[in-house]
Structure formats: structure tokens, C-alpha cells
Structure 1
Amino acid sequence: MNDKLRFLKIYKEKIKRPGSEKLLHFLENQSDFFTAPASTRFHGAYKGGLVEHSLQVYDCLCDYLERRRVQDIYELAYSEESIAIVSLLHDLCKCDVYKTEMRNKKIDGVWQQVPTYVFDDPLPYGHGEKSVYMISGYMRLTREEAFAIRYHMGFSSSEPPNQVGKAFEMFPLALALSTADMEATYFLEQIKKHEEIKDE
């Protein structure tokens, strides 16, 4: 099953909130969500990288929340719908912001024109807050879901550390989502790169 089909399956099975169908219609028919990269050059910088990363974050968040310590000591428990919403949609802000330009790159000692992603945001409303804004145009988020998405970049964002820490204290789902996002970005992406290098 490819990433788009898997995303659609999880979304349709787990997310039943009023407005979710209209949001899914937007993703499929009015945005580049399923073909967009996840970044210009850091992680998922290729066609389909955004949906792939979103699914990786979903898997990482599910795994995190299934840990015995998380359940028994931290007592974190969230509905399957909330888990799907925050993980699958946390980077909705990356829709329609990556364009392709030709750039010069030296390959085997020869300069060549190669396609490169560049960031060009027609709605510069921030990162996590923009995802919350976009989702809220279609369906309501709980306060914890909104804060989780808003602060999913954690301490790697440009937010004051004390503000991020306060959000994590108040809304543990924000910390869980941030952990899942970092795991997907820094572990799963690196594993994939190493596997690709081995296959060459």
C-alpha cells in the first residue's frame, strides 16, 4: 500500500469529526499535500516526503503512547481520533509552499542544472500555528490537540524555551507529538538514507 492510500485509510477510519470530510477533500483536490516534500533539503526533501513524514510521525506517536511507562506512570491516554489528527495533520502548513527551481550543482566535477525545492509561503502565518489555523477552517480541535500541533517543533523552534516548556507541562500530548516528530525526522529519515546508500 502506498503512502497516500495508507494515509487515506487511517484518516477515514480514525477521524470522524464534523468537517473532516471537507478537510480531506481539500487535501486530495485543492492542495499538493500528497506530492509535496517535507522540506527543501533537510528531511523528506523529495516528492511525497510530506505524506511519508506525516505517517512516520503517526507510527512514532502510536508507539510512544503504547509504552508501559507512558501509560502506567505518566497516565497518558488519548483517543485514536486525537492521535490521528495531531500526527497526520501537524505539518499541514507545508501544503503549497514548496516550488521547484533549476539550480547549478556540480555532479562528478561537471556543473549541471538540477531541479531544487525552494520555500515560498503565500500565507506566512508561522509553522505550528498555521497548521492549527488551516485545520480550524474545516473542523474544531480540542485545546490539547491545538497546543500539540502548535508546539510540535518543541525546543528546536524559535519560541522562548520557557514558553515551550509551559505548553508541554500543560498539555502532555504536545510533548508526545514533539518526541514523535523528532524521532521520525532524526531517526527514521536517517535510517532510510543509510538504506538508500547501501542499495546504490
Structure 2
Amino acid sequence: MTPKEEFTALYQAHITRPGADKLLAFLEKSDFFLAPASTRFHLACRGGLLEHSLNVGRLMLRYSDEAPESLAICGLLHDLCKTNYYKESTRNVKNEATGQWEKQPFFQVEDSFPYGHGEKSVYMIEQFFRLKAPEAMAIRWHMGGFDDAVKGGSFSISKAYERYPLAVKLHLCDIEATYLIEARQSSAQ
């Protein structure tokens, strides 16, 4: 099974609320399945966003004390904001062995809707179906201390984590996927 087939199977098996089919159709038309997860950090490669979303989705679905639909929504869609966000371009890089300048492909950010990371994913999902409060909080705060609002001294994240355990679970799974699973994959290549 390809990663796209696995994503689609998990999505359709667990996410059944009205409008979910329309969101999946949007993903099919977008660059979601081909986009990188980042420009230079984890999975900065074609298909990286899909791979990261699957990694987090699989980790989330391990929890048996939450509704599987909520776990799948949070895990598979937490980085929806990265859809149609990166553009492939080239830049000149000096080849140290030859001393020649060569064109190298890279991904750059082209954010047409600069709404913030977690809140943008929430906004995009809710164009298709309503999120429950714990799901919205989990997706909004999944970046934890890496979120710009937290760096500015906000205590909202602490309140969200105290009130919504799903938010803590998503943050932990996102960190585990990024720094443990994906870091091992990158070092093995």
C-alpha cells in the first residue's frame, strides 16, 4: 500500500462526519500528498507532509481512551495549513568539489493566507466540517513551545493543555514523529 493509499484508508475508516468527503476531495486537488513537511527541518522533501501526517496519525490512533475519529482528525490533519503553502524553486549553490555554481531545487514558503500555524489548520478544516472543542484546541496548540504565541508569553497553551488532554497527546505525537521517527529516517538515508 502506498502512503497515499494508507492515508486515504485511515481517513475514510475513521473520519465520517458530514463534509469529510469534501475535505478529502480538496486534498486530492491540492498539493497535500506531494508537499514537503518543512523547508529545511523535518521531511523537507516531496511527500514529506503526507509522511509526517501519517506518522502522527498512526501515533495518535494508539490512544484507546479517545474517540478514534478525533484521534484521526488531529493526527492526519494537524498540519493542513501546509497545503498549497510551499513552492518549488531553484537557487544557485556552489559545488565545493568543482568550484562551479549549480542550480539546486528547494522549497520556499509562499503563504497566501498568513493566519498562523495551528489556527490556520483549524480554519481550513472548518471550511468542510465542524471540529469539537478538544480537536480544535489540540490542532491549534500542537506546536507547543515552538508556537510564536507561546514565545510571546501566552498562558493560553497551559490552560488548553490542562483542559484538553487531546491537545497534549497531539503535541506529544507530533514531537515523537518529528524528533524520533523522522530523525531516524533522515539519518538512515
- Taking structure 1 as the reference length, what is the TM-score of the superposition? 0.88
2:117 and 2:168 map into 1 onto residues whose CA distance is: 16
- Aligned 8 A contact 1:98 1:119 in 2: yes
2:31 and 2:127 map into 1 onto residues whose CA distance is: 18
Runs of 5+ consecutive residues of structure 1 not aligned to the other structure: 67-76
Match for 2:66: what amino acid?
Y
C-alpha deviation, 1:161, in angstroms: 5.0
Structure 1 segments (4+ residues) deviating >4 Å: none
Give the root-mean-square deviation of aligned CA atoms: 1.2
Match for 2:55: what amino acid?
Q
C-alpha deviation, 1:88, in angstroms: 0.3
- Aligned 8 A contact 2:121 2:139 in 1: yes
Deviations 1:146-170 (A, max 9, x none): 0000000011211235221111001
Matched, 1:80 2:63: no
Match for 2:134: what amino acid?
E
- What residue is the counterpart of 1:151 in the other structure? 141
2:164 and 2:20 map into 1 onto residues whose CA distance is: 23
1:92 is matched with which residue: 74, 80, 86? 80
Q: Report SS of the residue matched to 1:82.
A: helix
Matched, 1:132 2:125: no
- Aligned 8 A contact 2:60 2:72 in 1: no
Q: Report SS of the residue matched to 1:113.
A: strand
Matched, 1:183 2:182: no
Q: Report SS of the residue matched to 1:17.
A: coil
- What residue is the counterpart of 1:73 in the other structure? none
- What residue is the counterpart of 1:16 in the other structure? 16
- Aligned 8 A contact 1:151 1:174 in 2: yes
C-alpha deviation, 1:100, in angstroms: 1.4
2:46 and 2:187 map into 1 onto residues whose CA distance is: 19
Runs of 5+ consecutive residues of structure 2 not aligned to the other structure: none
Match for 2:181: what amino acid?
L
- What residue is the counterpart of 2:163 in the other structure? 170
C-alpha deviation, 1:108, in angstroms: 4.0
2:131 is matched with which residue: 134, 141, 144? 141
| Count of aligned pairs | 184
